[in-house]
Amino acid sequence: MIVKDAVCPFCGCLCDDIEVEVEEGRVVAVTNACELGTTKFMGEKRMKNPILRDGDRWKDITYDEAVRYAADVLLEAERPLLYGWSGTHGEAQCVGVHMAELIRGVIDNTSSVCHGPSILAIQEVGHPGCTLGVVKNRADLVIYWGSNPIDAHPRHLSRYTRYAEGFFLENAFRDRKVIVIDVRKTETANIADEFVQIRPGGDYAVLSALRAIVQGKADTIPRTVAGVTREQLVRVANLCMNAKFGAVYFGLGLTMTQGKYKNIRNAIELVSELSRHTKFTISAMRGHYNVYGSNEVNTWMTGYPFGIDFSRGIAFYNPGETTAVDILARKECDAALIVGSDPAAHFPRKCLEHLADIPVVQLDPYPNATTAFCNVQIPVAVTGIDAEGTAYRMDGVPIRTRKVLSTDYLSDEEVLARMYARMQEVLEQ
Amino acid sequence: MKVTLAMKPAAKGFIPIEAESIVPKNFLAGTDLLVWRGNRELRLDEVFSVSVEGEADRAEGVEVVLSGETFRLKRVGEYMDGGKITVLGGIGMHCGNFMSGGTIEIHGNADGWLGREMAGGTIICRGDAADYCASGYRGGRKGMKGGTVEVFGHTGDFLAESLAGGTVVVHGDAGDMPGAEMRGGTLVVDGDCSRPAANMKGGSCYVYGTARGMLPTFKKIGTVQHEGRTLIQFAGDLANRGKGNLFVKGYEYLD
């Protein structure tokens, strides 16, 4: 059986033109997806049933036992941490937020270690953004800043920028200029019309200099700024000002380097400045396929996009204090629920030391690095493969992911709903 | 009146305690106050050994002395408007948030957001202060609006972010981006720092040491004499409106 127009649950591009061939309950071929997406669709070696740590061994348990264990551990905690959420659908994220409020815990998603700083900047100066389709059809200048789509978002270039047709561009490939700004010459830099190499930690200074140049103050800028010559900065500023429609896409090279959200704020303010001359927009290259959704769901349910502390019964938000890495490094939580992410593969060692000391429950289809830190792991269906639900693309467009095959696994939403029901039951007693 | 709060050894590991009820004014009505540990509400005497000497009829006559492992105590002195709080050791995040009067003296180190969005009063920190000392809140346009913060040790990043009024003095070094987005007030760093006054709109920032990673968008005006020092004056941030003043002893560009 061939499933057409499947949605790829890998990166924030959320490509919705995938063809998946299914035979005997297995994905056997994938067409249109990039290598990252294909590998996800073809994924095997799933965990078969929930497991419980029993000394230095694993014991197989039932879903009911696992749900009961998870609910009891989280209810007992004085400051439970509910982390992850970018690898699951919006409906499961909703249950997660309700759960955080019910048990008065802290709910945080993976954006606190990726584009959280972008959101902090947006909260300061707003977001002059647009959807990917607008860029595809109109942009004659695209800037990738601190992001490397060839490796991380492979189809971004072919679907929306460098290699895409544009409705309002006569010859998109020739008319569309691409500028890459990075600390090293990436694969994406090789296909750019202009490559600007910045010394590490110099993004903020370069952004400030560009803002001043766009304002006509080029003569006050030193001869070089973080390894970039003034001549090149002026050339880049002119390219931007002479474009009909410019779009900036930035990645973790900007959000997670020195200055963090202030880099993004500076980039947004540069875009605002450029919009006095022409039309310019800026957007984040969101990583996981539904990390944008976790921000959306959290925001419309609590008012805040990530790092929400319900311990006092009301939502309190302060990244740097109520975010997972900070809480774990400071040992400020006493139980954790991990859904749709793998913190043990990404967090600093200090955080993992605390994760090893507290009870941890993980919902994930596969054994991963976090499995080593779990007390219980509950396998679930994979959204976009054997579960369906809503995901938000990197530009904020909600897309319903489809089921390409049926299995007996429960979805994240179903497992979380069972846990929530058990918690309500205990609290009512 | 002197209220002494000696913290009892923590029974439950490292869960922080939120104690915005520890404000001098509140002790005029007794010590029957509540604090929070995670999602549990506790009586003040479950966390501290409490003793009270003397009497007072105004907040100005109350001194609260905190001792023990107070480094995980958050929000002490929030909305304080008079009296004194003395912390013998270190203090946790958000000490002196929104305070408008009185004095907080910390003999140890202070954690993040010391004196966040304060409007008046004095905070003296004898040790180091962590990130966001005397700063604003997420997404806010104005940080500290008045009062004085003096830190004798070093401070972390984003010192006096969005400073809008008042005076902040740091005798040691400051981290990255002190005075970012500042629009008023005075910031003095005796030691070194990196990228001071980024995107400043107004106010004055003094760095008596070296400004590393100096931003390219500050225009050199000349040298000035300031309290017996020769400092280089810059106008900036030109990326913004360029109405602020930055004075540095020495500077290095990231070129």
Rounded distance between C-alpha atoms, residue A190 and residue B20, angstroms: 55
Flag if A204 and B131 touch (Cβ within 8 Å). Answer: no
Nearest CA among A282, A283, A263, A265 for reference residue A183 = A263
B88: pLDDT strictly greater than 80: yes
For A330, name the nearest residue in chain B, comparing CA atoms only: B14
- What average pLDDT does this structure show over B204-232? 95
B93: pLDDT strictly greater than 70: yes
Nearest CA among A46, A45, A50, A93 for reference residue A362 = A50
Does 3.30.70.260 match the CATH number of domain A46-113+290-428? no
The Cα of B17 is separated from the nearest Cα of chain A by a number of Å equal to: 10
How confident is the model over B100-117, as pLDDT tens digits? 999 999 999 999 999 999
Amino acid at A368: N
A242: pLDDT strictly greater than 90: yes
How confident is the model over A297-333, as pLDDT tens digits? 999 999 999 999 999 999 999 999 999 999 999 999 9
- Give yes or no for A117 touching B (CB within 8 A): no
pTM value is 0.95
Region(s) of chain A under CATH 3.40.50.740: 46-113+290-428
Amino acid at A426: V
- What average pLDDT does this structure show over B29-56? 95
Nearest CA among A354, A414, A421, A390 for reference residue A83 = A354
pLDDT score for B234: 96
Q: Within 13 Å and on the Cβ side, how many CA atoms surround B253? A: 18
Place of tokens 């200090």: A350
Nearest by CB to residue B40, choosing from A78, A205, A209, is A78
Flag if B239 and A120 touch (Cβ within 8 Å). Answer: no
Place of tokens 């105004």: B58
* DSSP-based three-state secondary structure for A365: coil
Q: Which two tokens stand for residue A6?
A: 């499947």
- Backbone phi, psi, residue B224, to 5°: -135, 155
Average pLDDT over chain A, rounded to an integer: 96
Instruction: Quickly name the fold that domain B2-213 has.
Output: Pectate Lyase C-like (2.160.20)
Amino acid at A82: L
- Give yes or no for B75 touching A (CB within 8 A): no
- What average pLDDT does this structure show over B166-181? 97
pLDDT score for A275: 96
Instruction: Give Cα B242 distance to the centre of its chain.
Output: 26
Domain range list for chain B: 2-213
Flag if B39 and A124 touch (Cβ within 8 Å). Answer: no
Region(s) of chain A under CATH 3.40.228.10: 116-284
pLDDT score for A41: 94
A229 to A105, A199, A200, A222, B187: CA distances (angstroms)? 50, 12, 15, 9, 32
Flag if A78 and B39 touch (Cβ within 8 Å). Answer: yes
For A218, name the nearest residue in chain B, comparing CA atoms only: B217
DSSP state of A220: G
For A265, name the nearest residue in chain B, comparing CA atoms only: B199
How confident is the model over A360-374, as pLDDT tens digits? 999 999 999 999 999
How confident is the model over A125-169, as pLDDT tens digits? 999 999 999 999 999 999 999 999 999 999 999 999 999 999 999
pLDDT score for B72: 92
Flag if A224 and B14 touch (Cβ within 8 Å). Answer: no
How does residue B10 score in pLDDT terms, banded at 50, 70 and 90?
confident
Q: Are A285 and A249 in contact (CB under 8 A)?
A: yes
DSSP state of B226: E
Q: Are A228 and A282 in contact (CB under 8 A)?
A: no
Rounded distance between C-alpha atoms, residue A51 and residue A376, angstroms: 6
Q: Are A244 and A140 in contact (CB under 8 A)?
A: yes
Amino acid at A30: V
**Which contacts (CB < 8 Å, 24+ apart) does range A39-45 have?**
A40/A8, A40/A9, A40/A10, A40/A382, A40/A385, A41/A8, A41/A385, A41/A404, A43/A365, A43/A366, A43/A382, A43/A385, A45/A366, A45/A367
A352: pLDDT strictly greater than 90: yes
Q: How many CB atoms lie within 10 A of CB B142?
A: 15
pLDDT score for B12: 64
pLDDT score for A43: 87
How confident is the model over A378-424, as pLDDT tens digits? 999 999 999 999 999 999 999 999 999 999 999 999 999 999 999 99
* Contact residues on chain B for A332, CB-CB shorter than 8 A: 14-16
Rounded distance between C-alpha atoms, residue A24 and residue A406, angstroms: 10
Instruction: Give Cα A119 distance to the centre of its chain.
Output: 12
Q: Within 13 Å and on the Cβ side, how many CA atoms surround A289? A: 24
Q: Using the Cα atoms of residue B26, residue B28, residue B33 and residue B35 in order, give the sign of their dihedral.
A: positive
- Give yes or no for A265 touching B (CB within 8 A): yes
Nearest by CB to residue A334, choosing from B13, B141, B215, is B13
- Give yes or no for B43 touching A (CB within 8 A): no
Flag if B253 and A225 touch (Cβ within 8 Å). Answer: yes
* Contact residues on chain B for A119, CB-CB shorter than 8 A: none
pLDDT score for A44: 84
pLDDT score for B157: 97
Flag if A312 and B39 touch (Cβ within 8 Å). Answer: yes
* Contact residues on chain B for A427, CB-CB shorter than 8 A: none
How does residue B11 score in pLDDT terms, banded at 50, 70 and 90?
low
Flag if B195 and A104 touch (Cβ within 8 Å). Answer: no
Rounded distance between C-alpha atoms, residue B136 and residue B118, angstroms: 9
CA angle B60, B61, B62 (to 5 degrees): 95
Nearest CA among B113, B112, B114, B57 for reference residue B85 = B114
Structure-derived torsion over alpha carbons of residues B2, B35, B72, B12, reported in degrees to the nearest 10: 120
How does residue A335 score in pLDDT terms, banded at 50, 70 and 90?
very high
B94: pLDDT strictly greater than 70: yes
Amino acid at B37: R
How confident is the model over A73-84, as pLDDT tens digits? 999 999 999 999
CATH class of A116-284: alpha beta
Q: Which residues of chain A from 72 to 91 reach within 8 Å of chain B, CB to CB?
A: 77-79
Q: How many residue pairs bridge chain A and chain B with CB atoms within 8 Å of each other?
A: 117
pLDDT score for B13: 74
- Give yes or no for A276 touching B (CB within 8 A): no
Flag if B39 and A202 touch (Cβ within 8 Å). Answer: no
- What average pLDDT does this structure show over B207-230? 95
Flag if A205 and B137 touch (Cβ within 8 Å). Answer: no
pLDDT score for B242: 86
Amino acid at A347: F
